[in-house]
Amino acid sequence: MLSETLRQNAIVTAVEAFDADAIAAGKLERGELTLEIAAAKIASICGFLKYDQKFVRLSSVTAVDRYPLEPRFEVVYHLHSVEQKQRVRLKCRLESDEPAIESVTSVWRGANWYEREVFDLFGINFLNHPDLRRIMLPDDWEGHPLRKDYPVTGTRI
């Protein structure tokens, strides 16, 4: 399923050697490498990329809602290697029914607020997160505004 050009990429080869089942798909478009990772393995792959492949920085964590498609959510991680001046995007797909994924705060403490933001605005749960609560909206807010089925205008009655 991975194309030949991708297999020649050093990062892809390293990740495949580390865990052959982890990469579900991948693409290299507009000079940006995207790897689709099996959701259950995200923390271990992130740990590998950080400590073995020198991706010391987590640039951001965010999500995309593909409503009404299934699997509905994509959690997107942007990693940055300062030394090699490289970036890689990791992506995990989650079903709409109680979306949850392992937190990467154990790898980068900086993931804390980014994951809280995704939790707040998308309603995706991060397991083993040290402080998972809303960050942008008030604690008693209902709903998750960045979901596609959340209305843009209107008044709550």
Partner 1 sequence: MSDQAIPGISVTAVAEEPPKPGPHRMVLNMGPQHPSTHGVLRLLLELDGENVMKCQPDIGYLHTGIEKEFEQKNYQQAVTLTDRVDYLAPLSNNLGWCLAVEKLLALEMPPQAQWMRVMLTELTRIQSHLVWLGTHAIDIGAMSVFLYCFREREDILRIFEMFSGQRMMTSYFRIGGLALEPPRGWQQRVKKFIDGFPSKVDEYESLLTNNRIWTGRTKGVGFISLEDMLDLGVTGPMLRAAGLKIDARKDEPYTSYEKFDFEVPTRTENDVFARYQVRVEEMRQSARIVQQALEGMPAGPWKADAPHVVLPDREKMKTQMEALIYHFKIVTEGFRVPEGEVYQIIESPRGELGYYVVSDGTTHPYRVHMRTPSFGNLQCTPILIHGALIADVIASIGSEDFVLGDTDR
SS3 state of residue 18:
helix
Tell me the per-residue interface mask from 115 to 134 with partner 1, x by CB under 8 A, - otherwise.
------x-------xxxxxx
* 147/65 Cα distance (integer angstroms): 6
* 91/41 Cα distance (integer angstroms): 11
Q: What is the spatial order of strands in the sheet that 32-37 belongs to? A: 23-29, 32-37, 86-94, 73-81, 57-65
| Interface with partner 1, residue 34, by CB under 8 A | yes
For partner 1, the binding residue among 56, 71, 96, 100 (CB under 8 A) is 56
Using the minimum distance from each CB to partner 1, give the nearer residue, 21 or 156: 156
Q: Determine the interface stretch with partner 1 among 11-19, 40-48, 85-93, 94-102 (rule: CB under 8 A).
A: 85-93
SS3 state of residue 28:
strand
Binding site for partner 1 (CB under 8 A): 29-30, 32, 34, 56-60, 62, 64-65, 76, 78, 82, 85, 87, 89, 108-110, 112-114, 121, 129-139, 145-146, 150, 152
